[in-house]
Every structure is written in structure tokens, then in C-alpha cells.
Structure 1
Amino acid sequence: MSETSAFDVIVLGAGAAGMMCAATAGARGLRVLLIDHAPEPGRKILISGGGRCNFTNLHTGPDRYLSANPHFAKSALGRYTPEDFLALVGQHGIAWHEKTLGQLFCDGSARQIVAMLVAECDAARVKMLLGHPVAEVDHADGAFRVKVDGRDWSAPSLVLATGGPSIPKLGATGFAYDVARRFGLSIVQPRPALVPLTLGGEDALFQSLSGVSAQVEVSCKKTQFREAALFTHRGLSGPAMLQISSYWQHRDPLSVNFLPEIEPEWLLRQKQAQPRTTARRSLAAALPARLAEVLSERLSLEGDLGNIPDKALRAAQARLTAWIFTPNGTEGFAKAEVTAGGIATKDLSSRTMMASRVPGLHAIGEAVDVTGWLGGYNFQWAWASGWAAGQALTAA
């Protein structure tokens, strides 16, 4: 048997999902070829979590994911959980810690997670072909053929794990969508997610606050998050804004509560207790000084609280708890942590990740229309979907 026909499965993409799938399938005795155009595996893993890789979240559940089919992720997430991945991390002696909101990080470096996945692939006898872009993919006579550097590799199963176009400087492209379309699969329009929002018009005045961060509650339609927001020279970022960006559509207004921990009519009570203090000083007790200054100016709260009518203070607090921003866009795929949209779940089995109309073709990870919240959820989807496909693949 020639090397060209010696594989049961070809996995395209040596990222989180691709390596997980390859290692899982290989451990079951399948002959696996893992191909990536990048010279090293897991490039996106390496930059995640500030270099420490927020590799999962203890609060993982289907409600933390966006998809045209909100039920699609249930099967894979239910069968491969954060505890399962933690067990793997423990087997490799990787120390970790929990930050806020169930987010788990390596104590050391994200390189430990990449090394773990590479070690799992090595143990499963996965052949890696790195630094070689795929020139062509086709299917005939029950086998998928992948052309790399003028050479053909074939297998009865093909897994698309090349992610989406977010962070193109790492080599990210829409390659998975092109292959999916070639085989008749539908694509949900890809868009940047977990991405900073840009401001224009009157909102652009807030750009003077670049670098200022505050705990807020931000809402878009029926979705809200309470985390830190960061003003930038272009608009809004920080965890709260990255979270809401995945739900934001062009021209949607955002409502920001700058005082999520403050009781109603707080300014009136401040007036009664300290009538000679200024509104700016009162706000500075609850907010960063520069933000308090800009907000008090925009609200025209001048002079001592004792000289400001109660009606004006009530109106000011109402606006401070529902300040409307209308972003004019996002910073695009270049700054997006992930891609929303992708290969439509209606064309895939939620249990095996295989295309219903193309036997042997699977899609996993970010390439699929399943997008998690910020905080390790997208990695957990990569592990779970990769594991699900790896368990379902069969030998030739």
C-alpha cells in the first residue's frame, strides 16, 4: 500500500480542534494525517489568554454559545466536558488556576497546552505535515484527495478544522468555507465576534478616555453582560464590550449602565448628605476620575449638588444607568478573537459533526456556526467538537 492511500482520515488544520480530533481518532487506531499551512501547530492557542491560554470554562453550557441552531452544540458539549479536558491536563502535569467567572488558565504558558496536544498526537501516531498549504481538495471513488506541494494524499474521511478568518496575521482564512461550498454545504455569513466596537459622531468624544476602564452592565436587545468595559482611541473594548459584540448588529444601540452596583436615587441621597459637594466628585467616588469628569460634563451637572434640582439629578442618574451608544462598526476580523457564523449546522450531525449529504466529510471548531462567549468557551467547543468527530471516524 502506497503512502498516498495509507490514511483513514485527513484533518485540515492543526489548531485546537484539529489536534484534538486527530489525537482522538489516532488513539482509536485510525491512521491520521494532520495538515496545516502554518510552520508550527496551535498558533492561535499560543496567543490566547495573554499567553497563558484560557483553555476552558467551568460554566460551559449550550446557553453560552451563539448559533443559528442553539441546540446544535448540546450533544458534543454534553459528551466531552471541561472536567474531561481537565483530566487530560492533569495527566500531563500542567498546573492551572481559576480566574473570575469560571475561567481556567495555565499557571505557566499556553505552550504547555500545545505541547500536550502534540504529545497526544505523537502517542496516537498521527502524521503531521506542517508548513505546507493545501492546493486542492476533491472527492472521487469514495475518497477525498488533498494536493499538497504537488503530491496527493487521500483518505475516505476529511475533517475541516481550519477555523475562520479572525486574526489573519496568524494566517487565518476562510478556507474551510471554500471547501464546504465546493461540497454543497451552506455557510452562515461569517462576521467578526468578540471584537472591539468603534464609535463615531457625538460618541467619538469618548475617545478622549482611551485607556480608562470601568465595571459596567451593557445590554443589546435582550442580551446583557456585567464586566469591565475599556475605552479605546477608536471606541469600546474590554470583556463587556467584546461579549456584547457577538450579539451586536450594525446600527444596533447599546445601553450601558455605568452604575450597576449603585442603588436608585443615589445622587439624591448624595445631595442630602453632602449638598456642598459637586456631582463630578460624587461620580468620582463610584467611577474613574476621568470618566466621572466626562460624564458630568455631558450631563451638564455643574456646581454643588445642593444647587441642582432633584428632577435634574433623577434624569442624570437615569441616563447614567442607561447611556446609549450607537457603534458605527467593529475593528473587524483583524482584531476579532473569533468568527461568528460559518458552516451551517443544519448540514451537519450534532453527534458526529459529519455532513449529512457528504459521507466522510466532517467540520469542527470555529469553522462551524457555533460561537462561544469570551472566557474559554470557544476552546471547550474546539475540544468537544474535535473529540466528537474523532470518536465517530472509522477506519477505511
Structure 2
Amino acid sequence: MPDRSETYDAIVLGGGAAGLFCAAIAGQRGRRVLVVEHADTPGKKILISGGGRCNFTNRNTAPDRYISTNRHFAKSALARYTAADFIALVDSYGIAWHEKTLGQLFCDGPSRQILDMLLAECAKGDVEISLGQPIEAVDHADGQYSVRFGDRSASAPSLVIATGGPSIPKMGATAFAYDLARQFGLKVVEPRPALVPLTLGGDDVLFRELSGVSADVVARCGKTEFREAALFTHRGLSGPAILQISSYWRNGDEVGIDFLPDAPRGWLAEAKRATPNMTIQRQVAAQLPERLSEALIGRLALDGPLNAITDRKLEEAERRLADWRFTPNGSEGFAKAEVTIGGIATAGLSSQTMAGNTVPGLYAIGEAVDVTGWLGGYNFQWAWASAHAAAQAL
């Protein structure tokens, strides 16, 4: 064990998006900051995000795009550091970007540009970054947090938990944040995979044969719905619409899919009058991929020309196609989940500063906290906003 402890104003555990940004801001505010990252390189999830282009924020960021036990918790931080604020920082580095659908902003070049920007911001604040040193122990006594990592020891009056959640363990993700939170008396909302593909079994297993087929759909679970692409996989359902709805899905819930969200009511009966000799299969295939239309019509057990099918049966087919029910038997778990729902309970944190209400000097930010955004840059914006809120208080 080291014979002396280096002292800092703040120690940030985790060198991902939230941790680096928080350290950079605090450092530029004159604080002496140490970042401790157990991986040998910082920002691994930044590098793989957005297919390697980093979907770094979303223009449409608003508190209602986040899931939390306390749906109001994210309001303060999001209001005080907005998507426009982060875009201005990106622009100041000359990083070119483009907007895809639904307000999603991506780098024109590689994700590395965002990581390099964060590291440059840390350098401006003289932030020290320790890499490849696992955290051995964290203690708190006499108003100081002491951290042992590798062959070093450091202490500070402020400690920031920014180690994320357990999603994508192959990137080194763990549940360390929750263990540490519990150690200091903070509660943890049960974590579960979010933005994750869903798996199909039972009668629905036949749809796995459609692996690779996608369609623009509306996916629903309870009262929540998303219109985006759905993709059939060899294990079940994926694609943006499914990843979005997975955050609201619980084991045993049904997921409803509207395969023809633009079709007006009564469209099959109208088609029967206009083209009576056309088969229902051809009619549906005109609007959906052929393999998908064959599978759906096959499951409906309808065949032959439209004029051979009663209006009542056509109406029932229409209803099924507009609300096709799947009962997923699970998800692909943390291994494939982009983020984690649940985490350090917001009830124990200040929404203004992200500080623990009963633990002086302890902060929690980013994915470690029970705040989870929609797909499309929302989780990065929470990382920036929560990091900014904590950094202002350090």
C-alpha cells in the first residue's frame, strides 16, 4: 500500500462521457481534479456510439424523453445545460456534424473527435487522468474520500460517481456504481437492460425466419408508442422502434406493432371494390416487404382474391395488421443493451447539484443515476447536463 496519499479537490470515478466532462468543467473552474478510469483507454462507449459517428446529442431534448422513478428529476440539469450549449462547444472545435432523423446529431467524421474534444477540455483544466488502474477501495472519514487504485492512493473532499451502468460489459461496464452508492447509504432502483433487442419464443418463433427484414412501423407498449423502423432478427425483434419500446417493456408485457401506420381505416374493403381480383397477399405486399407480408397473411390464414373474402374478415385482418401482438420472452440483456434503466435512486440526490442529500461531498452523474433517455442522443445529453450540474457545485 502506498505510504502517502495525493490530495485533490475532487476525484471523479469513471472516464466516460459524464466523468470527463464533469472533470473538465471543474478543472477549468480552478479545481484540482483526478479522474480514475479502470480501462486502459477513456471513453470507450463514446468511440462505438452512433455506429462510430457518435450521436452526441438531440435537438429535441426535453424532460419527457427520459424515464426515471422521479420524472421531474432531470428538469433542472437539462434546463441549465442544453443541447444548444453542447453544440456550441462542438462547433468551437470545428467538428463537422449532421442531423439525421428526429433531431439526432452525429459527427460527420469518427466518434474519436468528441473524445479528443473532451480530453482537450480536461487538459485546459489541468485534469489528471489515471488509466488502467482498477479501484481497490473507497473510504470516507474526517470529511475526506480516499481512493486506492493500483499502487496509488488519493484523497479529496468531493467524490463523483461516473462509472455508468452494467450495459455492454465487453466494454468493461460493471455495477460498481451501485455497490459504491449502497456503501454510502444511497438506494438503488433495480437496474435492467434498456434500448435492447427483444427475443421471441413460442408461437412467435416463426417470425425469426424473417431475419434481416425491416419495416417502418408503430411499436406500442401500454400507452407508449414510437414510429420508427423495426427489424426482425434471428432471435426476435430489433431496430429503433423496438429499442425504444424496450425501455418501457417488462417481462410478460405484450408489444403491439402497427405494420401499416399510414393505411386509412377500411383500406382493404376499398381495395376489394377497386381491384376485386387482386389477392390479399399482393395487396399487402404492395406496402410491406414481400417476406413479411407472406408471413403475416399466412398467420391470418387468408388466401385468394379480395372478392372471395368477406368484409368482416377483411376488417379483422386490418385490425390485426394495425395492432399485431407479440409477447417477447425476454431481451438480449445487458450484453446488447445500449443503456441501463434504474440505478442510483434520485430520491437520495439533489436535482440541482447531483449531490447526495445525506452524504456530504458525494455526487452521482450520467448513466449511474436512475435517469434513462430515449434512443438518439438523449443519454449523451443527460451525461453532459448532469456532469455540468455537479461540476458547478464542486
| TM-score bucket of the superposed structures, by smaller chain | over 0.9
Aligned match of 2:151: 150
> How far apart are residue 366 of structure 1 and its match?
0.1
Aligned match of 1:305: 306
> How far apart are residue 255 of structure 1 and its match?
1.1
Aligned match of 1:62: 63
Aligned match of 2:11: 10
Aligned match of 2:26: 25
State the AA in 2 paired with 1:296: I
> How far apart are residue 149 of structure 1 and its match?
1.4
State the AA in 1 paired with 2:393: A
The CA distance in 2 between the partners of 1:49 and 1:296, in whole Å, is: 35
Is 1:212 paired with 2:232? no
> How far apart are residue 343 of structure 1 and its match?
0.1
Q: SS of the counterpart of 2:334?
A: coil
The CA distance in 2 between the partners of 1:312 and 1:253, in whole Å, is: 24
> What per-residue deviation string (whole Å, max 9, x for no partner) do you get for residues 101-154 of structure 1?
000000001000000000000111000001111010010111000001132110
State the AA in 1 paired with 2:319: A
> What per-residue deviation string (whole Å, max 9, x for no partner) do you get for residues 79-122 of structure 1?
00000000100111100000000000000010000000000001
> How far apart are residue 301 of structure 1 and its match?
1.5
Which of 331-340 and 271-280 deviates more?
271-280
Aligned match of 1:83: 84
Aligned match of 2:105: 104
Q: SS of the counterpart of 2:226?
A: strand
> What per-residue deviation string (whole Å, max 9, x for no partner) do you get for residues 213-232 of structure 1?
00111111111111110000
The CA distance in 1 between the partners of 2:276 and 2:134, in whole Å, is: 69
> How far apart are residue 293 of structure 1 and its match?
0.6
Is 1:323 paired with 2:311? no
Aligned match of 1:181: 182
The CA distance in 2 between the partners of 1:3 and 1:120, in whole Å, is: 29
> What per-residue deviation string (whole Å, max 9, x for no partner) do you get for residues 9-29 of structure 1?
000000000001000100000
State the AA in 2 paired with 1:52: R
Alignment coverage as a number of residue pairs: 392
Is 1:165 paired with 2:170? no
Aligned match of 1:260: 261
The CA distance in 2 between the partners of 1:5 and 1:387, in whole Å, is: 25
> How far apart are residue 300 of structure 1 and its match?
1.1
> How far apart are residue 6 of structure 1 and its match?
2.8
Aligned match of 1:390: 391
The CA distance in 1 between the partners of 2:354 and 2:100, in whole Å, is: 31
RMSD over aligned CA atoms reads: 0.9
State the AA in 2 paired with 1:69: N
Which of 294-303 and 23-32 deviates more?
294-303
> How far apart are residue 165 of structure 1 and its match?
0.2
State the AA in 2 paired with 1:40: T
State the AA in 1 paired with 2:330: G
Q: SS of the counterpart of 2:164?
A: coil
Unpaired segments ≥5 residues, structure 1:
none
Is 1:44 paired with 2:45? yes
Maintained 8 Å contact 2:98/2:106: yes
> How far apart are residue 286 of structure 1 and its match?
0.8
The CA distance in 1 between the partners of 2:56 and 2:4, in whole Å, is: 35
Unpaired segments ≥5 residues, structure 2:
none
TM-score (norm. length: structure 2): 0.99
> How far apart are residue 346 of structure 1 and its match?
0.3
> What per-residue deviation string (whole Å, max 9, x for no partner) do you get for residues 164-213 of structure 1?
00000000000000100000100000000000000110011100000000
Q: Percent identity?
A: 66
State the AA in 1 paired with 2:359: V
> What per-residue deviation string (whole Å, max 9, x for no partner) do you get for residues 266-303 of structure 1?
11111111111111110011111110110111111101
The CA distance in 1 between the partners of 2:85 and 2:369, in whole Å, is: 22
The CA distance in 1 between the partners of 2:309 and 2:299, in whole Å, is: 15
1:119-158 equivalence runs, <5 A: 119-158=120-159
> How far apart are residue 306 of structure 1 and its match?
1.2
Q: SS of the counterpart of 2:182?
A: helix
The CA distance in 2 between the partners of 1:266 and 1:258, in whole Å, is: 14
Maintained 8 Å contact 2:219/2:258: yes
Aligned match of 2:201: 200
Maintained 8 Å contact 2:6/2:153: no
State the AA in 2 paired with 1:88: L
Q: SS of the counterpart of 2:317?
A: helix
Aligned match of 1:288: 289
> How far apart are residue 4 of structure 1 and its match?
2.9
Q: SS of the counterpart of 1:334?
A: helix
The CA distance in 1 between the partners of 2:5 and 2:233, in whole Å, is: 52
Q: SS of the counterpart of 2:336?
A: coil
Q: SS of the counterpart of 1:357?
A: coil
The CA distance in 2 between the partners of 1:97 and 1:128, in whole Å, is: 31
The CA distance in 2 between the partners of 1:6 and 1:142, in whole Å, is: 13
> How far apart are residue 3 of structure 1 and its match?
7.9
> How far apart are residue 5 of structure 1 and its match?
3.7
Maintained 8 Å contact 2:226/2:241: yes
> What per-residue deviation string (whole Å, max 9, x for no partner) do you get for residues 320-350 of structure 1?
0011100010000000000000000000000
